[in-house]
Every structure is written in C-alpha cells, then in structure tokens.
Amino acid sequence: MENLVPDNLTFSEVGHLPIIKDFAKKIELVETLDTLVDSEMELSPGVAILAMVLDTLSGRTPLYRMEEFFQEKDTELMLGCDVKPGLFCDYNIGRVLDKIFDTGTQKVFSQIAQKAIGVFDVDPRRLHFDTTSISVFGDYDFVDPPLKITYGHSKDKRPDLKQFIVSMLCVDRNIPILGTTEDGNASDKTLNNELLGGVSKHMARHGLKPGAFVYVADSAFVTPDNLEKSRDKNVKFLTRLPATYKECSRAISEAVIAENWIDFGELNQTPATKKRPAAIYRGFETTVELYGETYRAIVVHSSAHDKRRHKRIDRLLEQKRKDLETHGKKINAGPFYCRADAEAAAEKIGKATPNSYHRLRYEIREKAKYRRGRPAKGKPRTPIGYEYLLDVKIEKDTDAITPLRLEAGCFVLLTNLSGTKEQVQWSAVTLLELYKNQSGIEQNFGFLKDPVIVNSIFLKKPKRIEVLGLILVIALLIWRLMERCMRQHLERTKGEISGWKNRPTKRPTSFMMTTKFLSILVAKSGKRRQLVRPLKPVQLEFLQAMGVDPEVFIKP
C-alpha cells in the first residue's frame, strides 16, 4: 500500500501549552533564569524550568518521566529551541534543581514576579499573606537539612504524615509575588513576624515605600510581636481579630446592643443561586484595645451565618433545656400540700432560667383528696384536704436567643488604617471587600494541592523540594495572569465568553480555557508548521481575551 504521508511530516498534539509558553515569554522566564543561575550544562536552567512549568500545567502528573513527556512533543515550538528529549533525564533535571537552590529560590522568583508585575501592570499595593501545609510520604530523616520536613499542625488533616509549609504573598487578590517553603512545624504567627521584618524592603523593589501598601493576613497575625513590628516598620495591616480575645466578643456585643448597623449589601462577585444565595453584609464601626494600643475595628455581620456556629448554639440550647428539666424534676418531685409550696418551687426553678435562654410557663392545679373507700349513696364526697400539682412548660426565650444568633453571624476586622483622611479612603465596606479577597490566596493553595497538578511529592532531597515549590509558584503565577487577562478584557469590553456548557460568562478561569484547546494538532514538515484543523471561533475569542497571537501555535 502506498504511503500517502511524506516521510518528513510529523504531528504533535500541543493543546493549550503554546499559550503557557507565550505568557512565560512575556515575563522573560527563560532569560531571567539563565541570567541568574550559573550553569554550563547543555540544558539551560531557563529551558528546564519552562519545560517543568509546561509539564505542571499540562493536566498530567507533573515532573514525572519528563523525558517521556517530551518524546512526542515539538520541543522547538514549545520551548523556543530544538531540545532533544533525552536531555530531560532525571540526572539533568536534578542538577538544574540543585543549581537553582544554590542561586536562591526567593531571589529567582522575586525577579520573575517583579517582571510580571511590570509587564501586566498589576497593582502591588494590596498584599495578601497566608500559609498551607503539604503532606509527604516517606521518612525524610536528614541531618540539618535546609528544609525540615517533620510533623506539625496539618491543614490537610493528616497528622500521621510529615509535611512542609508553603507561605505565599499575593497582590491584586491572587497574583503571587513571593512564595517560600518552610519547616513542617513552622508557626503562622512566626512566619508573619519574619515577613513583616522584610516586607518593606521587598515592596521597595516595586517602588512602594512603607505605608503605601496594606498587608492583609488571617487571624494568626494578631500577636504582641506582630502588632509591635507593624508599628516599628510602619506597615499598614488588615486582619481578623481572633474570637479568643475578650475585645472581640465585647465589640460584637456592643454592635448588637447598639443596633446602629451600616448596610453593605451584597458583595458577591459570582451570580447567586437558589442553593447558594448571596450573603448580605452590614457593619459597625468601633475601636478595641490590644496590648495598650487602640485599633480601629469593624464588626461585620453576614446573613450567611456560619453553620458550625449555629449548630453549636443549637447544641447549647438543647443542653440548657435538658439541664433545666433535670433541675425542675428534682424540685418538682411530687405533689405539694399547700399552694405556697408549689409557688415557691416554681420560683426556685425560675431562678435557673436567666442563663438558660428559656422561659417557664407554669400552672398550679388543685387536686382534692378523699377518704378511702366507697362514698355513701346519694351523698356528695367531702374532701378531707387538698394537694397541689405544679405543671411546668419550658419555652425558648426568643428575645435572648436572637442576639445570640446575631452575634454568631459576626466577626471583627482589625486594622491600623485610621484617621479622618484614611477613613474616607478606607471605608468599612472597602476594608471588608479587601479582606474577602483573601479567598484568592486560599484558591491558590487549592491549585497547589490539586492532584492533577501535584500528585505526590517524590523528591527525596529537601533542597530539591524547595525548588519544586518555586516551579509550582511560577506555574501558579502564569495560571493567574492568564485568568486576570481574560477577565480584564471582558470587563473593558463589557462582553462575555463561552464558559462551561457553552454558557456565557464574565468570569472565565484558566482551567476553563484549557478545556477549549483540547486536541490541537500541529503538522510539521521541515521548518514549516500548520494546524491540522483551523482554530474554532470560541478558541479565537479566548486568545483575543488573553492577548495571544494565534501564530503561537505554529511559530516557535
């Protein structure tokens, strides 16, 4: 049978990877790494890291058998240079990781992030910080390693596994500008303190002086050392006051009693549904005193009450009712021989109700007592005395429970953004919106823990795990930049794009985009490349939204 396909014609499935490569080119990923990392290897550090980022975002288990991954790929199109797949052997990859570790992972990522912030005009004035734990399998018993992999507080709820901590600093909600790996038993409070010491120097690289940016962190930020350091370094912060502080409950009680709420309305960015209605927020301005200093506080109430807190209230009310019933049975053990005794018993039971969130309704029934035996026929029975029965009904005290449930839906934001001028700029609702953006960094941790992205940590050298963290954060940076470009384009044009099930959306995601570029095939003959099938209109829409030229699929 005659072969109709020319001998030099090859096919390569590229999917969405040329788009990843285009964004990597815009932030000068390869050039930055090759400049910073001293290496004379045939496989340059920049190309190696780009290859690992592409592998990470390809939708398969990353960093595993990379040589095999690039065997059927057009490496010149993907990486910008014709690299033999054999160069991606484990030995070469390991050497690259070691050289990057020697250079310094923070130094490398800081340069890359700084370039990305400038190229994509990202506003770096709103900083979000948080940490998460990454569980690992194996012993990891090393003498004085650079990264201590050990047991600690597991945010994965796997206390049986050793772990390391990933800390991240993001701007513009979820764009990472700093990502580090820490010891598995590192404390969030300590990590906050260490970052506060150098955050001003770090932000100076982005042209920001102390006081020109806001540091947003979770409640672990609130410690005497962190609050003192924020004053010394002139760091403006926004955090959540832990419920363990008495000032937190005092401020909430003050807000509930005052009933002078500021309506914030709905602040949801995604459309509400029947199953998930939009929360309605309102706030109350006050101050709290911590460690001798006064801070601005915003008590926030959400209509989407914390279900766990309300279940706790339900359990409390049930227990209070049972205690009251037990207490009542002891006092109301039998009939009373005068009405005064029954009334005294009711009063005694009632003394237990002020803190029980219940009210008592009682009725005293008079019951006649007769002589034993059958009464004489035709004569009325004459009682020889009376006894009194106490009937008690326990009802919930709505007036007492309503404030309790109202308090359960409240939390307190703490900030040192104060003063008349600043309060005009930083209104209570603005601060709440800024704190709600902390969810962006939590979504980033979901990305890092996604089994499609990170199946399991297999590297056995802690310093290589640290570089793996760098690779994942670089991949995350590109992932979020693509998403940001799409959403900004739709916001500028007031348009929509085809999302899940071809439904129009204004908030596309990077993962959504990747599903639109499945099975993109490129035919190559010599140096010439051509798409096997033309790009679809929806694919061209996504490329336009990201600012990517369709030529990236056929031109290295």
Per-residue pLDDT band for 230 (boundaries 50, 70, 90) equals: very high
* The pLDDT value given to residue 5: 52
- The residues, ordered by sequence, that sit 6+ positions from 304 with a Cβ below 8 Å of its Cβ are 277, 279, 409
Sign, Cα dihedral of 300, 304, 305, 308: negative
| Structure tokens belonging to residue 435 | 């704190």
Distance between CA atoms of residues 213 and 417, nearest Å: 11
Q: Which residue has 């947003």 as its token pair? A: 216
* The pLDDT value given to residue 62: 54
* The pLDDT value given to residue 1: 36
What is the number of residues in the chain? 556
> Is the separation of the CB atoms in 17 and 23 below 8 Å?
no
Task: Answer whether residue 124 shows pLDDT above 50.
Answer: yes
**In degrees, to the nearest 5, what angle opens at C-alpha 31 toward C-alphas 26 and 35?**
145
- Summarize pLDDT for 159-198 with one digit per residue, the tens: 887 788 888 899 998 999 998 888 888 888 888 888 888 8
Per-residue pLDDT band for 476 (boundaries 50, 70, 90) equals: very high
- 534 CB-contact burial (10 Å; exposed 0-12 / middle 13-18 / buried 19+): exposed
CA atoms within 13 A on the CB side of 184: 22
- Summarize pLDDT for 429-453 with one digit per residue, the tens: 999 999 999 988 888 888 877 765 5
- Summarize pLDDT for 243-293 with one digit per residue, the tens: 999 999 999 999 999 999 999 988 876 766 777 788 899 999 999 999 999
Distance between CA atoms of residues 418 and 426, nearest Å: 8
> Is the separation of the CB atoms in 66 and 121 below 8 Å?
no
Q: Is 210 left (phi over 0), alpha (psi -120 to 50) or beta?
A: beta
Distance between CA atoms of residues 231 and 294, nearest Å: 12
Per-residue pLDDT band for 531 (boundaries 50, 70, 90) equals: very high
| Structure tokens belonging to residue 423 | 């309060």
Q: How many helices (H) and strands (E) does the chain have?
A: 19, 16
Distance between CA atoms of residues 483 and 511, nearest Å: 9
Distance between CA atoms of residues 278 and 546, nearest Å: 29
